[in-house]
Chains A and B, each alone.
Chain A
């Protein structure tokens, strides 16, 4: 393998990988405060892209993206308030089914709003063929935007959870919900807030990836499955390791192209997931004791 080919594979892998990581972080935020896996997480990514594209004719792109993120956050809040907030101790099975139902419903609403056609935001820098040279490999600047924005989001989230009061309250919820209630934290609002937050980061990811991958009403499911795979590989609830796991899966997928027919690429991710589930269900980087304490 030449060095150019190697770098080309690396960047391809990092591009998918950072998108997977963002979706996985969205899963983890909600999982940590609620113990729910939100199967509709991928739909937030879809909504971000589709809404920003619809707003684009009316306003400059940065504003359209910002507004799309805000609208998707509002959708996230509404979903939590309407469908989840008032349930008393729902079983895991029930929550899985509800969020799957939500994902179907959002997707079907989207197809009736936007139709089956495919769209895309324009490239942020340059156009479809612009590329910059990195050690002989050629990379679209948008790839760097995706990787950069995802990296920034991870850093910002880390700071948010560490330094802000709301962030600390959310962490308290995930560590011990009862204790958090006793400390006077409104856990219900924290749950709503976690939906808003993960809808927001999902939507932003949906906007920055749109020029490369395009936006379509049904991209959500595929992303959700990949994101969940990554969340489990990293260890459910662990945002930091989700980033590593996401990049790892992206790179494996990119390099797998050189040995396995492309048609089986998706099956590889799932096969890795199954192996992890069978061998180390608490994830590559998670601790089995911590996982044992969680309620599934």
Chain B
């Protein structure tokens, strides 16, 4: 009986699969899994808004090769179990061409194998290096590798003669990954991490922990690695304590909101970031200049909020996908190959050069050292 049932089921499945029509001509279905609400909404929110804007723009121009883009945005609330459910839904049910997102590394790692098995390109907006190392053939990511940001910071420290540092990190995936890279790479640059603390992403006051670190007189600089608002509380508490230590932040600091909140305390903070933050000061012949300026001004006029590098990750994922579809058409495998072969493609995060072994495509030039001057991001030129 059971065997009969399962045979019937198989037959029915096969029949139904044949009945499903080929993707309708004239639309390109793209899925997105983003943490629009929940603990990572500061990432997912701008990402979702960016995608909505881009889809509107591209459809107004007549779509890709004449095909309209249909974007299905799923709000995962930063929960991996939802991301898993949505990924399967998008791959099998909606039969999307590709998936953009998720916003967090934890979610991306949960669906890495699913998109690999479902042979659907995944363009993650999360930063962790494990996403693309080991390389899964269908999985890409647009944010720069943490290790590049770490190296950029350490290079600057070497120049300034700093050898003993304290590391603070938020307890999000971004903070943890960054902390790991800082500890791992420090010896290569002759730098010693003598204090490490991890704070809650919802921390409201960190003056106690700042006092503790400050008590260690050997600390020559503080590196704070986090993407949550608490990172502006840290620097505020450090400066309130009258501690004039050099302050380094990660590329997670690339949101002017955090600078506004920290006010005077943000002055002089040094951090690596994509050029989106200094788009208006780039010279016109810089390969990223035109697209950065248009993205920032379009986003800001549409949503009445400052553009951040997080929205930029979604911008890159979408424009890379569009570029790939333009050459490869509406086909998962061809699009995957097209992304992998993409060379010299300028995005908000840098100039992407993908290859079979590098599914991130960005090198250390994607970062520029920046600092805060008079409440604005400016290129850091050294002291």
Q: Which A residues contact B (CB, under 8 angstroms)?
A: 1-2, 4-5, 8-9, 11-13, 15-16, 111, 115-120, 127-131, 137-140, 209, 212-214, 216, 218-219, 222, 253-255, 257-258, 261-263, 265-266
Contacts and interface: CB of A to CB of B under 8 A. Distances in A.
B208 A140 contact: no
Given A5-B215, A8-B207, A111-B37, A128 B242 contact: no
B199 A262 contact: yes
A257 B209 contact: yes
A214 B233 contact: yes
B261 A120 contact: yes
A209 to B, nearest CB: 8
A15 B45 CA distance: 32
Contacts of A120: 261
Nearest to A122: B263
B211 interface: yes
A47 B132 CA distance: 42
Interface in B164-214: 171, 197-200, 202, 204-209, 211-212
Contacts of A127: 263-264
Nearest to B264: A129
A131 B241 CA distance: 7
Contact of B241 (A115, A138, A209): A138
A9 B208 contact: yes
Contacts of A5: 211-212, 215
Greatest chain B CB density within 10 A among A5, A119, A257 is at A257
A129 B263 contact: yes
Interface of B: 37, 41-42, 45, 171, 197-200, 202, 204-209, 211-212, 215, 229, 232-233, 236, 239-242, 257, 261-265, 305
B215 A263 contact: no
Contacts of B207: 8, 11-12, 15
A34 to B, nearest CB: 29
A262 B209 contact: yes
20 contacts: A1-B215, A8-B208, A9-B208, A12-B207, A16-B204, A116-B41, A117-B42, A117-B257, A127-B263, A128-B262, A129-B236, A209-B204, A212-B205, A213-B205, A214-B261, A218-B202, A257-B212, A262-B199, A262-B206, A262-B209
Given A5-B211, A263-B199, A116 B204 contact: no
Given A13-B208, A214-B261, A257-B208, A116 B215 contact: no
A168 B214 CA distance: 50
B104 to A, nearest CB: 14
Contacts of B202: 218-219, 222
Nearest to B229: A118
A128 B236 contact: yes
A38 B236 CA distance: 33
Contact of B205 (A16, A119, A137): A16
A212 B197 contact: no
Given A8-B211, A117-B42, A118-B257, 9 more contacts: A11-B207, A111-B37, A128-B236, A128-B263, A128-B264, A130-B240, A212-B205, A253-B208, A263-B199
Contacts of B257: 117-118
Contacts of A266: 200
B229 A216 contact: yes
Contact of A140 (B37, B45, B240, B262): B240
A138 B204 contact: no
A131 B211 CA distance: 14
A213 B37 contact: no
Given A5-B215, A115-B45, A116-B37, A214 B198 contact: no
Nearest to B42: A116
B215 A2 contact: yes
In the complex, the 9 A-B pairs of residues with the closest C-beta atoms, listed nearest first: A213-B204, A116-B41, A128-B263, A8-B211, A12-B208, A118-B229, A254-B208, A129-B239, A263-B198
